[in-house]
Amino acid sequence: MDIKDIKSFENYELKKHTTFKIGGCAKKVWFPKTEEEFVYLLSTLKEPIVLGGCSNVLVSSAGVDNDVILTTDLRDFSIEGNIITAQCGVKAPLLSQKAQKHGLSGFEFMIGFPGTVGGIVHMNASAHSQSVSDTCFNAKVFDADSKSVLNLSKTELAFKYRSSILDKKNYILLSAKFELKIDDKEQIQTLMKRNLEFRKTKQPNLTTPNAGSTFKNPPNDSAGRLLELAGAKTLSVGGAKVWSGHANFVVNTGNAVSKDISHIMNKMYNMVKEKYTIELEPEVKFIGIRDKEEEELWNTMLKK
């Protein structure tokens, strides 16, 4: 394989892909169309950053020094009986819809997700009493340390709240297998509609750029509840503000840069820490170049 044959662009603006609508240019962005191309890039490039739906990331407005691999063209999936196999770039809502059409239950919670299979498995996405770990029983991953492809069982994936082994080791998801339950199509559709309606009332629509939940829920509590009681709904920095409908969402009002988001997140973090001595853990991940100021803001939140 010749790397020149894989689709790529230089000085490519990433904000067009992020749900925050924030992000500078990457020196080079790659768009593999097959798993073979993806593995070749992961084996060849030096510390590439892999992005999918870009729904829970804050990409630096100063850009990204590393090569970036976008998985948007890795969209193959298959349904055999009650088993769904999907590549990392498949969008979660599409799988939810396809499962419903086949009378398969377990993906209803994903209908409003902006992410892809790679992201939802990596973070063990969950909502409405359902989670990825309920159905995912196998994952094919690339081990960036050994430059090898591994097949991981459900036990080896080590799913926990908002995390998996992919969060702990240098693994990149290639594809995953899910075992769903056969159920009535109309009941599945009803649950999906209910979930969508809930999201409309509790979360900002993606026409208002945001990255989903800003902080993870601490044990036996809600980040949104703590942030609201701490007074975070009044916060705004530059083009960023805390959403009026739910205190655990930050929205880009149109001209926010990554530093605005970093500052407002740091303020949210400190408000809860000062009032409740609880240190919230960011769910949004920062990617790209940070100056000294941004480095300090994130080091505080990540307790470095």
Q: What is the CATH number of the domain that holds 266?
A: 3.90.78.10
Place of tokens 């209910």: 194
Q: Could you tell me if 193 and 240 lie in one domain?
A: no
Any domain includes 188: yes
pLDDT of residue 206: 72
pLDDT surpassing 90 at residue 2: no
Q: What is the full DSSP assignment across 207-254?
A: TS-B-S-SBPPPTTS-HHHHHHHHTGGG-EETTEEE-TT-TT-EEE-S
Any domain includes 105: yes
Catalytically annotated residue among 105, 213, 258, 262: 213
pLDDT of residue 247: 97
Q: Is 43 among the catalytic positions?
A: no
Q: How far apart are the first and last CA of the chain?
A: 41
Q: Could you tell me if 169 and 264 lie in one domain?
A: no
Q: Could you tell me if 182 and 87 lie in one domain?
A: yes
Region of poorest pLDDT, from 3-17, 146-160, 201-215, 288-302:
201-215
The CATH number covering residue 124 comes to 3.30.465.10
Q: Could you tell me if 96 and 173 lie in one domain?
A: yes
Q: Could you tell me if 187 and 239 lie in one domain?
A: no
Q: Could you tell me if 177 and 233 lie in one domain?
A: no
Q: Could you tell me if 87 and 185 lie in one domain?
A: yes
- Looking at 165, 200, 235, the residue that finishes a domain is 200
Q: Distance (Å, rounded) from C-alpha 211 to C-alpha 86? A: 23
- In contact, 22 and 211? CB cutoff 8 Å: no
Q: Is 162 among the catalytic positions?
A: yes
Q: Could you tell me if 173 and 230 lie in one domain?
A: no
Give the pLDDT band (50/70/90) at residue 304. confident
Any domain includes 27: no
Q: Is 283 among the catalytic positions?
A: yes
Give the pLDDT band (50/70/90) at residue 117. very high
Any domain includes 34: no
Any domain includes 196: yes
- In contact, 146 and 171? CB cutoff 8 Å: no
Q: Could you tell me if 195 and 261 lie in one domain?
A: no
Q: Could you tell me if 108 and 165 lie in one domain?
A: yes
- In contact, 54 and 212? CB cutoff 8 Å: no
Identify the domain containing residue 113 by its residue range.
Answer: 77-200
Q: Distance (Å, rounded) from C-alpha 276 to C-alpha 296? A: 22
Provide the domain count of the chain.
Answer: 2
Catalytically annotated residue among 8, 108, 162, 290: 162
Any domain includes 126: yes
Give the count of beta carbons closer than 10 Å to the beta carbon of residue 56.
Answer: 25
For residues 200-222, average pLDDT = 91
Any domain includes 88: yes
Any domain includes 28: no
Nearest to 141 by CA among 163, 115, 113, 167: 167
The pLDDT tens digits of the residues spanning 71-93 come to: 999 999 999 999 999 999 999 99
Q: Could you tell me if 196 and 228 lie in one domain?
A: no
Q: Could you tell me if 241 and 155 lie in one domain?
A: no
The pLDDT tens digits of the residues spanning 21-60 come to: 999 999 999 999 999 999 999 999 999 999 999 999 999 9
